[in-house]
Structure 1
Amino acid sequence: MTQPYVLLIRLAGPLQSWGVSGRFALRDTHPRPTKSGVIGLCAAALGLHRDEPLGELAETLFGVRADHPGTPLRDYHTVGGGTYPLSPRDLATDHRRATAAYPDTAIATGTGTFGRHTLDSWYGAPKKIAADPVSGALVSGEVRRNAMLTERWYLADAAFLAGLQHSDPALLERIAHALEHPKRLLWLGRKSCPPSGELALGIVPGTLEEAFRAKPLLPAAGVPAAAPATRARPWAWIESPHPLPGVGPISDQPVRFDADGPVHGLRWETRHRITIDQHASEWDIIP
Structure 2
Amino acid sequence: MTTLLLRLGGPLQSWGTSSRFSRRGTDRVPSKSGIVGLLAAAQGRRRTDPLEELLALRLAVRTEQAGRLERDFQTAARAGERTPISISTRHYLADAVFLAAVEGDPALLEGLQESLRVPHFPLYLGRRSCPPVGQLDQGLRELSCVEALQQEPWRASLWFQKATRRPQVALELVADCEAGEPGAELVRDEPLSFDPRHRQWAWRSVKRHEPVTRDNPEFIENTATVPVTGQGVVDLHDPLGVL
TM-score, structure 2 as length reference:
0.81
Structure 1 residue 50 corresponds to structure 2 residue 36: no
Could you tell me which of 13, 25, 36 is aligned with 1:39?
A: 36
Distance 1:241 1:53, change over 3 A: farther
Q: Please report how far the alpha carbon of residue 211 of structure 1 lies from its aligned counterpart in structure 2 after TM superposition.
A: 0.7
Q: Which residue of 1 aligns with 2:63?
A: 66
Q: Is the 8 A contact 1:230 1:275 kept in 2?
A: no
Could you tell me how far apart the structure 1 residues matched to 2:175 and 2:196 are? Answer: 29
1:201 counterpart = 2:126: no
Taking only aligned residues, the RMSD between alpha carbons, in angstroms, comes to 2.6
- Which amino acid is the alignment partner of residue 214 of structure 1? Q
Kept in 2, the 8 Å contact 1:12–1:196? The answer is yes
Q: How does 1:38-187 map to 2 (within 5 A)?
A: 38-80=35-77, 123=81, 145=83, 148-166=86-104, 168-187=105-124
Secondary structure of the residue aligned to 2:161 is coil
**Mind listing any 5+ residue stretches in structure 2 that lack a counterpart?**
219-243
Indicate how the Cα distance of structure 1 residues 147 and 43 shifts in structure 2: closer, same or farther if over 3 A, else same.
closer
Q: Conserved in 2, the CA contact under 8 Å of 1:217 and 1:226?
A: no
Q: How much does 1:214 deviate?
A: 0.7
Q: Which amino acid aligns with 1:65?
A: R
Are the structure 2 counterparts of residues 44 and 147 from structure 1 closer, same or farther at C-alpha, using a change threshold of 3 Å? closer
Instruction: Return the offset for 1:158.
Output: 0.4
Higher relative contact order (CA 8 A, sep 6+): 1
> Structure 1, residues 27-59: CA drift from partner, whole Å, max 9, x if none?
111111001100000001001111111122110
- Classify the secondary structure of the residue corresponding to 1:275: strand
Structure 1: gaps (5+ residues): 86-122, 125-144, 283-287
Q: Deviations over 1:141-195 (max 9, x none)?
A: xxxx4664321110000000001011x2111111111111100111000000000
Contact 2:161–2:217 (Cα < 8 Å) also in 1? no
Instruction: Specify the structure having the higher radius of gyration (Cα).
Output: 1
Question: In 1, Cα distance between the equivalents of 2:115 and 2:213?
Answer: 29
- For residues 255-270 of structure 1, what are the structure 2 equivalents within 5 Å? 255-260=192-197, 262-270=199-207
Partner-residue secondary structure (3-state), 1:170: helix
Given the alignment of the two structures, is residue 246 of structure 1 paired with residue 199 of structure 2, yes or no? no
Name the one with the larger strand percent: 2
Q: 1:261, 1:229 → 2: CA distance?
A: 48
TM superposition shift of 1:264: 1.0
Give the Å deviation of 1:15. 0.4
Correspondence for 1:214 = 151
Secondary structure at 2:41's aligned position in 1?
helix
Q: 2:8 maps to which residue? A: 11
Taking a change above 3 Å as real, the CA distance of residues 78 and 253 of structure 1, as seen in their structure-2 partners, is closer
**Code of the aligned partner of 1:272:** H
